[in-house]
Structure 1
Amino acid sequence: MAAVTLKDVAERAGVSIKTVSNVVRDAPRVSPATRERVMRAVHELGYRPNPSARRLRTGRSGLIALAVPELTTPYFADLAHHVRTEATALGLTVLIEETLGDPAEELRLATGVGASLLDGVILSPLHVTPAELAPVADEFPLVLLGERSFESEHVVADHVLIDNVAAAREATAHLAGLGRTRIAAVGVDQKASATSRQRLEGFQQALHAAGLPFDPRLAPRVKEFDRRNGLLAMRSLLELPPAARPDAVFCFSDMLAVGARRAVHEAGLGMPGDIALAGVDGSQEALYGTPSLTTVVPDLTGIASLAVKCLAARIRSDSPLPFEVHVAPHWLQARESTLGGSVPPAP
């Protein structure tokens, strides 16, 4: 069966081949009605752009990459879904890559090495430094996700993030507002990552505002932001003398909170009666486990939309664009682990 061409789509939609090309490339100055008619014809005929021909014609392939530390982490799996959705709406195809936090792999993917057809990369780095990324972003379309590791540094690339200090401060303030006075922090990692540092800062700010002291014994170190480390950290907290044990815990990720929830259950304790628990990420595991977890929910749709649109603009621009930092919204979703009772899942 012959491949569907731009001419076929144009005839079906009753427009010129140039108009179809503009719609497929998401070019401006196409009316919404015309765009809808062309896209309907595209879907009806099953038209698929030819990347090789597109590359020759425009110098672009329409292929971008999303590189994240771990695809097994629900946060990054959800993020990948939203990035793909946003990219598809702009006529882009997404290649998903996993770096495992290896700085050499992060830098390799940031430069598009190994995938010569890539038009640009969205990268969530853990360890590669701004100094290493600066020359890359000057030559290749790049958007960064997550924390800025060195807040005093100038902006070296477009960056999309949430305010981690504010997120941690709000979650901890919620726990203090419930009358909890011995609040622990699970997520001080051994690698001193930007995420850990910023969430610890917000945690300490909330303690100070509530007139509560910071007790280092209530901030056990973890190796990773995963379920097992949350379990082990909570077990260590429950082994403290009774007078020193926490009555609330803020976990720096939902996966840490899921592990901590298991440890509380093992100890025969109740939530929030004995221990109130909160996390960050807005994951499905936080919502549907028992008890449901209070969590800070980042706007993943907003993060993905900002990242994809920033990258698309940089790819399509014929002149250098200034680098910008975009802060996406977040909100606190209070549930059973701090409120008690039966809190129905959000729709």
Structure 2
Amino acid sequence: MPARDQRTTITQVANAAGVSIQTVSNVIRGRGRVGEATRERVAKVISELNYVPHPGASSMRSNRTGQLAHPMPPQSFEPTNNINVEFIRGLVAAAATHDYHVVLTRSDGDPEEIAELCRSGRIDGFVFTGMQPDDPRMETAHRLGMPFACFGRTAPDLPQTWVDIHNADGTDEATTLLIETGHRTIAFLGHESPYFWDAERRDGYLQAMARAGLKSRVALCGSTDKDIEAAARKLLGRGRPSAIVCSSDRLAVALYAEAGRRGIEVGKDLALTGFDDWIVGRNLSPALTTVSTDLHDIAGRVVDRFLTELDGPTGAPGEFVPVELLRRGSA
């Protein structure tokens, strides 16, 4: 039993009972679908560990608004950002199962925008996406005592209230597939950006190539259609590789178009892999081999994590969700 001067955390209760943090939270709040045997086991552990929810939780609960803010960075509004659209769909659906409404706001990353929302009394917390190095949004929310959860990792000195994917694992597996099917000249086409996931996807390709003792070839481009088309023309010009690993399906789609203009047959003359599982990629001929992320599942996990933080900081670590390589005709 913890010493009397040490507060038992909800994470310790969950570990001792062999359940998730969300299940413990549901038992405490008397909501959610929890089996009777599980409910009794959790209640017994709560009693044995003398667990007491965060001191302010009860008073905060009575003042909750049922509103969850999702500040959207400018790139989220781009028509090509299919990932954000799918994540929002999952976020709204997951929040609704807990009687929460999602408030979408545009944010340029100004910490004062976040501070104003914290002070407004109109929201119970945040869901953040599009994290950048030294992102001030989470630091501001944390400093003002506002709960948050993220799709993407937070800085080490902030609460690790995030859910994310292993980006490098996805491109490593895609590159390994190409190597195992006989390709030796494999290039990588990625986005030139400050976001950690773009760097990780490049790293996954590089580690697979190094492991196989093959020479790597990395091409990076900007985010405009013009930039992407120029990169595709260059890669498919003189000395083109036999296969290309792309850090997004959008890049792979551009390579399909350029290959068609040059009479190069994808799946036969050129192997391609993507990342994200756009619906467009599924409908290409041949269909695009890609790394898939279950955005609805991730959104649900992010909402669950937010809800557990409402009862006070849990101190629990972030959570990685596995990716899946979908093998189709392009590779």
Deviation at 1:115, TM superposition (A): 5.7
1:206 — aligned with what?
208
Three-state SS of the structure 1 residue aligned to 2:117 is coil
2: distance between equivalents of 1:110 and 1:310?
21
2:220 — aligned with what?
221
Query: Could you tell me which amino acid in structure 2 is paired with residue 166 of structure 1?
Result: D
2:56 — aligned with what?
none
1:58 — aligned with what?
62
1:87 — aligned with what?
95
1:159 aligns with 2:162: yes
| TM-score, scaled to structure 2 | 0.75
2: distance between equivalents of 1:110 and 1:179?
54
CA contact (8 A) 1:186 1:251 kept: yes
Deviation at 1:170, TM superposition (A): 0.8
Deviation at 1:57, TM superposition (A): 8.2
1: distance between equivalents of 2:316 and 2:60?
28
CA contact (8 A) 1:160 1:325 kept: yes
Deviation at 1:132, TM superposition (A): 6.2
Q: Decide whether aligned partners of structure 1 residues 68 and 276 sit closer, same or farther in structure 2, where only a CA change above 3 A counts.
A: farther
2:314 — aligned with what?
321
Q: Residue 169 of structure 1: which of 145, 148, 172 is its match?
A: 172
* Structural RMSD (CA): 2.8
Three-state SS of the structure 2 residue aligned to 1:103 is coil
Q: Decide whether aligned partners of structure 1 residues 293 and 228 sit closer, same or farther in structure 2, where only a CA change above 3 A counts.
A: farther
Q: Decide whether aligned partners of structure 1 residues 28 and 156 sit closer, same or farther in structure 2, where only a CA change above 3 A counts.
A: closer
CA contact (8 A) 1:299 1:329 kept: no
Query: Could you tell me which amino acid in structure 1 is paired with residue 88 of structure 2?
Result: A
Deviation at 1:134, TM superposition (A): 3.2
Q: Decide whether aligned partners of structure 1 residues 121 and 221 sit closer, same or farther in structure 2, where only a CA change above 3 A counts.
A: same
Three-state SS of the structure 2 residue aligned to 1:221 is strand
1: distance between equivalents of 2:250 and 2:135?
28
2:186 — aligned with what?
183
1: distance between equivalents of 2:185 and 2:115?
43
Three-state SS of the structure 2 residue aligned to 1:220 is strand
Deviation at 1:260, TM superposition (A): 1.8
Q: CA offsets, 1:227-266, max 9 Å, x none?
A: 5544321111122x3xx31111111111111122111111
1:331 aligns with 2:324: yes
Deviation at 1:313, TM superposition (A): 1.7
Query: Could you tell me which amino acid in structure 2 is paired with residue 221 of structure 1?
Result: L
1:29 — aligned with what?
30
1: distance between equivalents of 2:31 and 2:307?
17
Q: Which runs of 5+ in 1 are unaligned?
A: 1-24, 34-54, 339-347
2: distance between equivalents of 1:279 and 1:296?
6
2:195 — aligned with what?
193
2: distance between equivalents of 1:196 and 1:57?
39
Q: Decide whether aligned partners of structure 1 residues 31 and 122 sit closer, same or farther in structure 2, where only a CA change above 3 A counts.
A: closer
Q: Decide whether aligned partners of structure 1 residues 187 and 296 sit closer, same or farther in structure 2, where only a CA change above 3 A counts.
A: same
Three-state SS of the structure 2 residue aligned to 1:308 is helix
Higher mean C-alpha deviation, range 244-253 or range 121-130? 121-130
Q: CA offsets, 1:8-32, max 9 Å, x none?
A: xxxxxxxxxxxxxxxxx99743586
| TM-score, scaled to structure 1 | 0.72
2:268 — aligned with what?
273
CA contact (8 A) 1:103 1:126 kept: no
RCO higher in structure (CA 8 A, sep ≥6): 2
CA contact (8 A) 1:228 1:259 kept: no
Q: Decide whether aligned partners of structure 1 residues 91 and 26 sit closer, same or farther in structure 2, where only a CA change above 3 A counts.
A: farther
Alignment of 1:256-271 (within 5 A): 256-271=251-266
Runs of 4+ in 1 over 6 A off after TM superposition: none
Deviation at 1:267, TM superposition (A): 1.4
Q: Residue 82 of structure 2: which of 66, 74, 77 is its match?
A: 74
Deviation at 1:58, TM superposition (A): 1.6
- Count the aligned residue pairs: 277
CA contact (8 A) 1:229 1:259 kept: no
1:304 — aligned with what?
299
2: distance between equivalents of 1:177 and 1:160?
31
Q: Residue 238 of structure 1: which of 220, 228, 236 is its match?
A: 236
